[in-house]
Structure 1
Amino acid sequence: MIDALLLLAMNFAGLLGVILILWGISVIIRDVSFIDAFWAFGMVLLAWGTWWQVGAEAPHAKLLLGLTTLWGLRLAIHLTIRWAGHGEDPRYKKILAYTGEKRKWSWAKTALVMVFLTQAPLLFITCLPAQLGIWASANDPQAIGIAGWIGAAAALAGIAFESIGDAQLDAFRKNPANKGKVLDTGLWRYTRHPNYFGDALTWWGIWLVTLDLGWGTALASLIGPVFLTFTLTRWSGKALLEKGLHKTRPDYAAYVARTSGFIPWPPKTRA
């Protein structure tokens, strides 16, 4: 069987090639916002690339491939539709303008360094549980155990939670009467970020499936869900998004005061 390091190196090389093609497209259309959709689809490509290289037919490999594909395709399609409907993400526009002016870089160089070459390794790290789990299962075709089934249930719950939250937000935004208001019903009553929570739950679930194969592979890929959770809660997810919402939504401070920031929980009060 192919060595794990060689497998990961080939996966990363393929990912980098696709990233550079996407960068070229962004230069032509002067918009990098579609990278969010590729964040999810790129993990599907990595999972299938691993499957293709190791030829794993084991139960864990099939489960990991299925969960990653279901999560990634659903989210990629959702984000692509959102990008097509709303156009360029103002967050990326602001980052590119600020960095380009500060460092005296061209738009193309700024997009390459600040967006595409940054996204590639982060995407790759997050997807390590699926990559290493599929690889390990090829040499250990054991039946799925308790940890694996718990992980699968958690991942499916995360996908469902995120999907419902996205649908509720889309419906809210389509109503002109809600302009400038805060969505605080449905799943959004219990967490300010059901989509982010769903993402984290999905990848912790996928990691549990990998853990079912043994602690060695699980520990080697633990950085994936840990990094994703940190990103969603402390770095570019929740923290960055809420900074803007406080400025554009007058009622957002009250919403923050009564609603859990990440893990779903009954609201403290009801305004």
Structure 2
Amino acid sequence: MSSARTRIAVVAAAAMALATPLAVRSAAATVNTATTVGDSAEAAQSPNAPASFTAAQVLAGVKKNSTTANKVNTKPHINTMTRAQNVNVYQVTSGVYAYSSSLAVDDDGSDPDSDPDHQDQTTFQDSNGKQLAAHHVPFYVLGDDCWDRKSPCPHFFYKEHGIKGRQFALMFYKSKVIGAIFGDTQTGNDQTTSQNDSRELGEASVKAAALLGINSSGTSGGVDNGVTVVILSGSQWVVNGSNANLNANAQAMVQKALDTLGASMHL
């Protein structure tokens, strides 16, 4: 599980580009680099092929649909970096959940790390049962339980929304978008460390931070705000693979996810 560590605050992230593409060119997500928000996938040859949506279009749709009417939680979540209770989760289209918060760096798992709070285990494992490698696998972190001990949970609790380990998500930051998986959890209220709180949202792995161009140090990295995570629920969006190829497998799903969301949000 994600360990508590002293968060070093950084300058708040610049506002994301929401509508106008930064560039319009043919590009797809690669194994080691994030897709630029303005990039579009190569146009389909068939005139009857479904439209290909850009990351900028999809992010704009997510923001447009992040309204009070679509809010899932009735109590606010905690920004992991700033500790402000101002993070909300929205169902932006059927089975798709989005939130914007910080990126606090989680370096737990099978990769060694100099962070004194590093733990060798992650809540979820790769398809071979190995602990996830935070330096190689882009993963995001959700709360471990319902902090309120109620059902339905007043906070967003992943088990109530068809979300499982290795669930795919798009992560947006400034001009970039990457694919990531659900890999670790923020410890629940049965823990004694003061800053462990399952209401937190805004933590992701070393690899996720690096792909997004964020300082990826577990002790001094991260950003206070500006990262948007869009989770696609359902078994068809669970990513399989080993630590060696989970990153490649996640990035290969980015354009499919963009196209699915673009169509479902009627962009």
TM bucket by the smaller chain? under 0.3
Structure 2 length normalisation: TM-score?
Answer: 0.27
Q: Which has the higher contact order (CA 8 A, sep 6+)?
A: 2
User: Normalized per residue, which structure has more strand?
Assistant: 2
User: Normalized per residue, which structure has more helix?
Assistant: 1
Structure 1 length normalisation: TM-score?
Answer: 0.27
